[in-house]
C-alpha cells in the first residue's frame, strides 16, 4: 500500500533519484493544475463551513437570550393586562421596513440637506418617505401615526442631537405640521479665517479691475 501524500506537499512537486545517483539531475514532477484547483476549493469550502458553524453557535446563544427576554416580557404583560395573551402578540421584524437600520434617518438627512437653507414640512417628508420606501397603510389613521410617531420621533431625535432645527413649535396643535430645516454645522475659527482671507482676496482682485 502506497503512503498517503501530505496535503501540504501538494503543489510543491516531488523529486526522484536515489542516494547513489548524487550527480544525476533531479527530476521535479509538476502537480496537475486541476488537482491544485480542487485542493484550494476544498480548503475554501472547509473554511466557509467553519465560519458558518461559528455563526450558528453565536446565533444559538442570541436566540437563547431572546427567548429568556420574551418569557420575562410575557410574564410582565400578564401582570399588567391579564386579558392580553402573549401568544396573540404578532412578531415585528424591526429595521426591515425601510430596507435596513438607519435608512429612515438617512433619507431625512439627505432630503433636508438638499433643501437647505429652505425648510420642509413634516407632511412633505412623510409623503416622500412613502414614495421612497414603498410604504402601504391600511387607513388614514395609520398613515398619520407613521408621520407623527416613526417620522416625528426620528426628527425629534435629530433635533435633540443638533442635526436639524424646528422652525415652528406647534405643540398642542396636532393637526398642524411641523417645519424642519437642516442645521448647518458652525464653522471653526480656522474656517472663518480662511473664508475671510478668501473674501479679502476677491475684494482686492475686484479693486484692480
Instruction: Say how many domains are in the chain.
Output: 2
* 160 vs 175 pLDDT, higher one: 160
Q: CA 64 to CA 73: how far, in whole Å? A: 14
pLDDT tens column, 67-111: 998 899 888 888 888 888 888 877 765 556 777 778 899 999 999
**Does residue 194 fall inside a structural domain?**
no
Is residue 27 scored above 90 in pLDDT?
no
Quickly count: other Cβ atoms within 10 Å of residue 106's Cβ: 13
Residue 33: what pLDDT? 85
pLDDT tens column, 138-156: 788 888 888 888 898 899 8
For residues 142 and 170, membership in a common domain is answered with: yes
What's this model's pTM, rounded to 2 decimal places? Answer: 0.44
For residues 150 and 115, membership in a common domain is answered with: yes
For residues 59 and 122, membership in a common domain is answered with: no
Give me the half-sphere count of Cα atoms (radius 13 Å) on the Cβ side of residue 140: 0
Residue 209: what pLDDT? 60
Q: State which residues form the domain around 73.
A: 37-86
Which region among 19-23, 98-102, 103-107, 115-119 has the lowest average model confidence (pLDDT)?
19-23
The domain that contains 148 carries what CATH number?
Answer: 1.10.10
Give the C-alpha distances (Å, rounded to integers) separating 39 from 2, 28, 53: 20, 20, 21
CB-based contacts of 137, cutoff 8 Å, min separation 6: 143, 146
Percentage above 70 pLDDT, the chain: 72
The backbone region for 119, taken as left when phi is positive above 0, alpha when psi lies in -120 to 50, beta otherwise, is: beta
Domain end, chosen from 61, 86, 111, is at 86
**Does residue 76 fall inside a structural domain?**
yes
Contact indicator for 144, 122 with CB cutoff of 8 Å: no
**Does residue 193 fall inside a structural domain?**
no
Q: CA 115 to CA 186: how far, in whole Å? A: 18
CB-based contacts of 179, cutoff 8 Å, min separation 6: 119, 120, 121, 122, 166, 167, 168
Amino acid at each position: 500500500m502506497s503512503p498517503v501524500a501530505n496535503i501540504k506537499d501538494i503543489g510543491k512537486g516531488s523529486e526522484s533519484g536515489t542516494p547513489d545517483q548524487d550527480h544525476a539531475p533531479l527530476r521535479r514532477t509538476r502537480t496537475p493544475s486541476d488537482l491544485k484547483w480542487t485542493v484550494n476549493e476544498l480548503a475554501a469550502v472547509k473554511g466557509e463551513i467553519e465560519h458558518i458553524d461559528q455563526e450558528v453557535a453565536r446565533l444559538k446563544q442570541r436566540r437563547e437570550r431572546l427567548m429568556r427576554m420574551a418569557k420575562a416580557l410575557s410574564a410582565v404583560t400578564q401582570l399588567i393586562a391579564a386579558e392580553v395573551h402573549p401568544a396573540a402578540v404578532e412578531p415585528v421584524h424591526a429595521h426591515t421596513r425601510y430596507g435596513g437600520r438607519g435608512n429612515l434617518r438617512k433619507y431625512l438627512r439627505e432630503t433636508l440637506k438638499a433643501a437647505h437653507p429652505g425648510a420642509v414640512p413634516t407632511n412633505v417628508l412623510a409623503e416622500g418617505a412613502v414614495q421612497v420606501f414603498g410604504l402601504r397603510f391600511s387607513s388614514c389613521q395609520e398613515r398619520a401615526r407613521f408621520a407623527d410617531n416613526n417620522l416625528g420621533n426620528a426628527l425629534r431625535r435629530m433635533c435633540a442631537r443638533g442635526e436639524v432645527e424646528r422652525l415652528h413649535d406647534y405643540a398642542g396643535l396636532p393637526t398642524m405640521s411641523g417645519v424642519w430645516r437642516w442645521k448647518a454645522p458652525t464653522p471653526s475659527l480656522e474656517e472663518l479665517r480662511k473664508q475671510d482671507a478668501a473674501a479679502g482676496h476677491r475684494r482686492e482682485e475686484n479693486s484692480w479691475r
